[in-house]
Structure 1
Amino acid sequence: MSRPRIVIVGGGFAGYRTASTLSRLSKGKADIVLLNPTDYFLYLPLLPQVAVGILEPRRVTVSLSGLRHVRLVLGEADGIDLEDRAVRYTGPEGEAGTLRYDRLVLAAGSVNKLLPIPGVAEHAHGFRGLPEALYLRDHITRQVELAAAGEDPKEAAARCTYVVVGAGYTGTEVAAQGKMFTDELVRQHPLREGLDPRWLLLDIADRVLPELDEKLSRTADQVLRQRGVEVRMGTSVKEATRTGVLLTDGEFVDTHTVVWCVGVRPDPLAESLGLPMERGRLLVEPSLQVPGHPEVFAAGDAAAVPDLEKPGTYHPMTAQHAWRQGKVAAHNVAASLGVGTRRPYRHKDMGFVVDLGGVKAAANPLGVHLSGLAAGAVTRGYHLAAMPGNRVRVAADWLLDAVLPRQGVQLGLVRSGSVPLDTASPEVARVVGGPEKPRSGAGDGPGPVKAADDAPGTSERPGTGSDA
C-alpha cells in the first residue's frame, strides 16, 4: 500500500512543530510534505535583536530542510480544494503546482494588519520578518549618519525621531532596543550639540503591554522612560505623510521613521475555505480538526481553538499556543492514521518574558515577578531553551555584544519597496465551491507575522509572544 501523504501549509511555529513531531512519530511510514515560501523557520521573538545589530540574521533561522522524513516544497499556497483534497501553490519562480493530501494541516499564520489611516500603508513599515528587520537596521543607521552630516537642524531632528505604533510585545521591544541602538550609533557619529535620538512609543491603550498583568507593564514602562523613550498612552497616528505623522492628540511629529506594530490578521487562506470562522480564524474542534472535514487540521494563527478552561472563548494568537498546538496537531494526525490516540488541546500559561535590551527585562516565570538582571537572565535562558537550533551561535553573539561595540554600517540588502506594509497579495485564490478571496501570505512565522482585532495602536505578537 502507498504511504499516506500529510501536507502541512506553513513553516512557522505551528507548522514547524507539527512537521518535526510527525517526523519522529511516522518514522518514515508517511509522506510528510511541508509547503512554505522560505526554507527556514524564523524564531520571531529575537527579531528585534536582529534589527539593532545584536544578532546576525541567520541566528534566528532554523533550516526546514534539516527535518528528517519531511519533504520541503518552496511555494505559497493559492487555494485548497477540499473535495479533491488538493493544495494549489505558486513556487518561488512563478511556477504553479498542486499537492494532493490524505491529511492536511493548515498553519498558514497571519499577515500585517492594516487600518484605514491615511498614509500608513505608504509611509510605515511593519516588523514581521527578516527583510523588515534588515531594512529597519539600515534605515536607522542611515538616518543617524545623514543627521550627523547634515546642516539643517530641523531636518536632522526629524531624521533622529523614531515613532513606534503599538505597545504590545513587538512595539515595546523595538522601542526599548532601538533607543539603545541609536545611542550607540550617536557615539560613532556624533550629532550637533543639543540633538539626541528621540523615540516615541504610541498606543491607544492605557498602558504598555496591555495584554500582560500590571506588574510586568509597570516594569517595562519604567525601563522605557528611564532609557529616554517617550511613552504616549491613549495616543496613536491619525495620518502619516512623507515628512511625519499627525497624532490623534493633534500634534504633528516630524519624522522619517514609522514602525507599525499594531497587530496582525489571520492569513486570508483560512477565510478562503468558506468554512465557519471566528474573527478571521478557522473554527476547529479541541482536537484541532475542522468540523465536517476530519482529514483537515488547523493550528496556530489560522485556527480558533476553543479554550477548554474558559468555555465560550478561544485561545489567543501567540507563539506559545502555535508551538504547542503544532505538537497536538501532529499527535492527532498520527492518531487519525492509526498511531496513538487523539487528545484535546489544553494549555496553562507558565509566565511571560519581555526582553528590553541590555540586562533589562520583565518576566514572571511561574507567577514570580522579576525585573533587572534576574529578569534578563531568565529571559535569555528561556529563549535559548525554546529555540529549536542555533543556541551556541546566539549565545556567542550575546557574549560578543557584551564586550564589543556594534558595527554601525549599512548593508544595503533590502530596499524600502521590498518590504511593503501590506503583506497580503492582491491576487485571488478560488476554493472549489467557495468565494474568491485574497491569496495566502506567508506562513505562521517566517512570512511578513497580536490579536486579529486589535484597535489602532494596540498589539499582540502572534507567533512571537514569549511564554516561559
Structure 2
Amino acid sequence: MSNEDIVIVGAGFAGYHAARRLAKRLRGTARITVLNPTDYFLYLPLLPEVAGGVLEPRQITVPLADTLSGVRIVLGQATGVDPAQRRVVYRDPEGRDGELRYDRLLLTVGSVNKLLPVPGVADNAHGFRGLPEALYLRDHLIRQVEMAAASDDPAERQARCTVVVVGAGYTGTEVTAQGQLLTVQVAARHPRLADVRPRWLLVDQGERILAHLDRRLSDAATRTLRGRGAEIRTGTSVSEATAEGVHLDDGTFVASRTLVWCVGVRPDPLVDTIGLRTDQGRLVVDAGLRVPDRPDVYACGDAAAVPDRARHGEFCAMTAQHAQRQGVLAADNIIADLRHRRRRAYRHAGLGFAVDLGGRAAAANPLGVALTGLPALAVTRGYHLAALPANRVRTTAAWLFAAAGRRPDTQLGLVPSAAVPLDTADPEVAHTGT
C-alpha cells in the first residue's frame, strides 16, 4: 500500500469520525489532511442547551488537533473541487487562497439552512446551525426580556417576551424547550414583568411535532411544552416576517422581536459546483459511499445521496446518526481500496431517537421502546455522553449544576446579529461540515 494523500473536506460527524478511523487504522502509512473552517468538531445535538444556558461552548466542542493524532489540520473553507486535477481549492481564515492535492478525497461538507420563499424571513429570522447562532440566540433572548422590563409600553413588553420558532423537528422542539425555561427564569428576576409571561410559539406545517418519532413520544413532548405554557401551531406556516412580528398563514399576526428558523437543512451548495452527478442537491454515491466512475472520490453525510437499503429507491436521512456511521464506513472502504480488498455497503440499524425537553423532561425510543420523563432523560443524556468524543466530565458537571441551581443568564454580547445571517447558502459563508 503506497503512502497516499487522503484529504477530508469537513469535520462534522461524518468527516471527524472518518478521520479518526483512518488515523487509527493506517497509523502513518498515509498522509491524512482535514480541511475545516474551525479547529473543532461540534457536537450539534447539544447546541440547543448552549442557547438555553445549560452548557457552554467548550463543553460541546472537541479540538481536532488533540483528538486526531497524526492528522494534518488545515483551517479553511473549500471553495472548489477539481476531480480531474485531483485538487481542492480553499480560502483560509485570513482570506488567502490555497489548494490541497489528493490521491483519495472524502467530501463531508454537510448542509446549510434551508430557506423558503417567504417574504422577510431572510432579513428578520435567524437560523440555528452553529455556535455563533446559539450564542447569539442566548444573548438575544436575555436582552429582549431585559429590554421588556425597561419599557413602559405593555404591548412592547409582551412583544419582546414573545418568541416564534418555525419548524417542530428535533432542533425546533429542543430550542423551544430550552429557551422557554431560560426566558421564564430571566423574567422572574424583574418585578416589572410580574404580569408578563414569556410566550413561545412553535409553528409547523405538519400535523404534529417531532413527526419522525412514535406518536406517543410526540404527544408526550406536546403535553410537556404546553404544560409550561408554550403554544403549538401545527398545520400552520409563516406567510411574512417583519421587524415587528410574524404573519401566519391562518391570518394571525404575532407581535414579536424573535423569529427562529428551524425548518430544516439542504446540502451545502459547494456540491453543485463540482461537476459530478447530484440528486436533490446531494452528491450521488453507490452503496459503498464512492462516487460512480470516480474511484478516488468518496462522499457521505448530509451532502451525499446515500442509498437507503431499508427503503428501496430512497436516500438515507440527513441525520447525525447516519453521518457518523457513514464516516466510519467511508474510512474502512478507503482502506479497503488501498489494500485491494472488497468494500462494504452501508447499512443502518437505527438505535432510536432522543429529545431533551429541558429540566427533567425528555422523550426517547431506544431500540423501539418508547420512554418519557426521567427514564427518557437518563437514556438521552447517557447516549450523548457515550457519543461525545471528549468533555464528558465537564458536560455532566454542567447538567448537575443546572439541575441544582439556576442557568447562567447573563448576556455576553460576543456575537452581533450581522455575524449570523440566515442565508448561509451564500458561498462566502463558512460551510458547516456536519
Fold agreement, TM-score > 0.5: yes
SS at match of 1:326: helix
Structure 1 distance, partners of 2:183, 2:201, is 13
Shift of 1:400: 1.0
- 1:287–1:344 CA contact under 8 A, matched in 2: yes
Cα distance per residue 1:317-352 (max 9 Å; x no partner)? 100000000000000111111176421110011211
Cα distance per residue 1:143-177 (max 9 Å; x no partner)? 11111121111000000000000000000001111
SS at match of 2:297: strand
Cα distance per residue 1:171-225 (max 9 Å; x no partner)? 0001111111111111222343421100000001000011222122111111111
The equivalent residue for 1:312 is: 313
- The alignment covers a number of residue pairs equal to 433
- 1:267–1:441 CA contact under 8 A, matched in 2: no
- 2:301–2:324 CA contact under 8 A, matched in 1: yes
The equivalent residue for 2:188 is: 187
- 2:2–2:29 CA contact under 8 A, matched in 1: no
Larger RCO (CA within 8 A; separation ≥ 6): 1
Cα distance per residue 1:240-298 (max 9 Å; x no partner)? 00100111111111100000000111001112122221111011001100001011000
User: Is 1:3 matched up with 2:3?
Assistant: yes
The equivalent residue for 1:62 is: 62
SS at match of 2:74: strand
For 1:5, the aligned partner's letter is: D
SS at match of 2:295: strand
User: Is 1:30 matched up with 2:30?
Assistant: yes
- 1:119–1:239 CA contact under 8 A, matched in 2: yes
SS at match of 1:228: coil
- 1:79–1:89 CA contact under 8 A, matched in 2: yes
The equivalent residue for 1:144 is: 145
Aligned runs of 1:45-56 on 2, under 5 Å? 45-56=45-56
Shift of 1:426: 4.7
User: Is 1:171 matched up with 2:172?
Assistant: yes
Unaligned runs of 5+ in 1: 428-439, 446-468
User: Is 1:265 matched up with 2:256?
Assistant: no
SS at match of 1:242: coil
Structure 2 distance, partners of 1:335, 1:40, is 28
Structure 1 distance, partners of 2:157, 2:430, is 37
SS at match of 2:191: coil
Structure 1 distance, partners of 2:422, 2:175, is 16
The equivalent residue for 2:14 is: 14
- 1:204–1:235 CA contact under 8 A, matched in 2: yes
The equivalent residue for 2:433 is: 444
Shift of 1:424: 2.3
% same residue: 61
Unaligned runs of 5+ in 2: none
Shift of 1:366: 1.1
For 1:51, the aligned partner's letter is: A
- 2:33–2:74 CA contact under 8 A, matched in 1: yes
TM-score (norm. length: structure 1): 0.91
- 2:270–2:427 CA contact under 8 A, matched in 1: no
Shift of 1:108: 0.2
TM-score (norm. length: structure 2): 0.98
Greater Cα offset, 181-190 or 406-415: 181-190
